[in-house]
Structure 1
Amino acid sequence: MNLLAIHFCIFVLLIDIIDSVELTFELPDNSKECFYQEVLKNRSAILEYQVITGGQYDVDVELLSPTKEIIYRQIKSQFDSHQFTAPKTGVYAACFSNEFSTFSHKLIYMDFSLTEEVNPLPGVDEHATVLTQMEQTAQEIHKSLNAILDYQTHHRLREAQGRKRGEDLNERVLWFSIIETSAMLIIAITTVIVLRSFFTEKRPSQMKYGRLDGR
């Protein structure tokens, strides 16, 4: 039982490494980044992405075939997913461009993976017998773990995006408060100076000179 569990975990890890490219990367301004995934003919794959932080949360996206044909293109997109079936075997490229931005860096999440499920228990399909309860349970656990990973990823993305927006809002409120406080202090000091000038008593020497001038 323990040996089967170890083999199961190793196999799932190998599937994740070989059949998917999932990462979060920073895309500087005036730059373009491409990521590559080998897909066999008639194999289904999906590209999913989301801009987490930066600018207006938008990016240009292109999905290219091995012959450099454009399979999918979006201009200034915030998030999307595109599923396709490979017409031929080769290396497909997912390119993200921030060339339209002159100062905003972008933080982008991308998942470029094959969508067809691989049997988590190698050799099971070779048997003509019905799956045992343990094998069925293992397959259900495998599907549930994949669903949990997807949910966790999306929740982490929303959390990171919300945290970044909260930090930006906090910074704006801080600077607005500093400017407002400074303006109030300047107005208060100016008001005090003006009022003091109205109620300041004249010195005797000033009054004497005033009488002489009156004569």
Structure 2
Amino acid sequence: MMHAALLLSSLVAFFATAVSSTALTYKLAAHEKSCFFTSVEQRGPKVAFYFAVQSGGSFDIDYEVVGPGEKVIMDGTKERQADFVFTANDVGEYRFCFNNEMSTFAEKIIDFEIAVENEESRAKIPSKQGTPPEQTSVLEESILKLSSQLSTINRNQKYFRTRENRNFSTVRSTERRIFNFSIIEGCMMITMAGLQVFIVRFFFQGARKGYV
């Protein structure tokens, strides 16, 4: 039992170190372009790139992923969110850029995550002496299932957070429009009342001049 617990803890620690990731929230000002970087030291790892615009304007942004040698891997314009996984075939620095130059005044808040995962390192699972291969295989399968389920939960949380932020922004925009419409309606009512008083006074003044 003690060997199983030690093996489980070592597997968890190994899977935690097999993946390097960066999750950030960034406020991108109008007419701003900002880039973030990650380095790949060997060929073959999987690079996961996720982003979602949480607020600002129409919730859209331009993005670009550039690899070593200024090779454009992927790009897009006016995207609200994206989730990609690609294989890093070249060693070097990868650049992930967000471009808000098309916006005249609206700043954007972006949640994004960059993760680099080496599948070859993951395949070499450490084992304890005296542990049966069958038990190691079962623990590996359990860890992979837990990792997959945690990844699914994490993505669902990101999705619901994005939906909540966008719905809240829509509610605030609707409240602002209702408030502005109420002010305009009130000004129009006051103007109409003033015009009615002016017209009535004009008719009465004209009638008095006719009698005189």
Specify if TM > 0.5: yes
Question: Which TM-score tier does this pair reach, normalised by the shorter chain?
Answer: 0.7 to 0.9
Q: Which residue does the alignment assign to 1:167? A: 172
CA distance in 1, matches of 2:32, 2:103: 9
How far the C-alpha of 1:28 sits from its partner, in A, is 0.5
8 Å CA contact retained: 1:20, 1:37 = no
Q: Which residue does the alignment assign to 2:33? A: 32
CA distance in 1, matches of 2:39, 2:177: 45
Q: TM-score, normalised by structure 1?
A: 0.76
How far the C-alpha of 1:42 sits from its partner, in A, is 0.8
How far the C-alpha of 1:149 sits from its partner, in A, is 1.2
Offset from partner CA, 1:175-199 (integer Å, 9 cap, x none)? 1111111111221232134224434
- Quick check: which has more Rg, 1 or 2? 1
How far the C-alpha of 1:79 sits from its partner, in A, is 2.4
- Tell me the SS of whatever aligns to 1:19: strand
Q: Taking structure 1 as reference, are residues 141 and 184 closer, same or farther at Cα in structure 2, changes over 3 Å only? A: same
Code of the residue aligned with 1:24 in structure 2: it is T
8 Å CA contact retained: 1:21, 1:37 = no
- Between the aligned residues of both structures, percent identity stands at 27
Offset from partner CA, 1:82-108 (integer Å, 9 cap, x none)? 321111222211011112222121112
- Tell me the SS of whatever aligns to 1:130: helix
Q: Taking structure 1 as reference, are residues 192 and 13 closer, same or farther at Cα in structure 2, changes over 3 Å only? A: farther
8 Å CA contact retained: 2:7, 2:128 = no
8 Å CA contact retained: 2:127, 2:136 = no
CA distance in 1, matches of 2:14, 2:200: 79
Code of the residue aligned with 1:123 in structure 2: it is P
CA distance in 1, matches of 2:203, 2:14: 84
Instruction: Calculate the aligned-residue CA RMSD, in Å.
Output: 3.7
Code of the residue aligned with 2:35 in structure 1: it is C
Q: Taking structure 1 as reference, are residues 157 and 4 closer, same or farther at Cα in structure 2, changes over 3 Å only? A: farther
Say whether residues 1:194 and 2:192 are aligned partners: no
How far the C-alpha of 1:56 sits from its partner, in A, is 2.9
Residues paired across the two proteins, number: 205
Code of the residue aligned with 2:152 in structure 1: it is A
Q: Which residue does the alignment assign to 2:151? A: 146
Q: Which residue does the alignment assign to 1:20? A: 21
Counterpart of 1:123 (choices 123, 126, 136) is: 126
CA distance in 2, matches of 1:149, 1:5: 25
Offset from partner CA, 1:155-214 (integer Å, 9 cap, x none)? 1011111111221121112111111111112212321342244347988xx899x3xxxx
- Tell me the SS of whatever aligns to 2:154: helix
Q: TM-score, normalised by structure 2?
A: 0.77
Gaps in structure 2 of 5+ consecutive residues: none
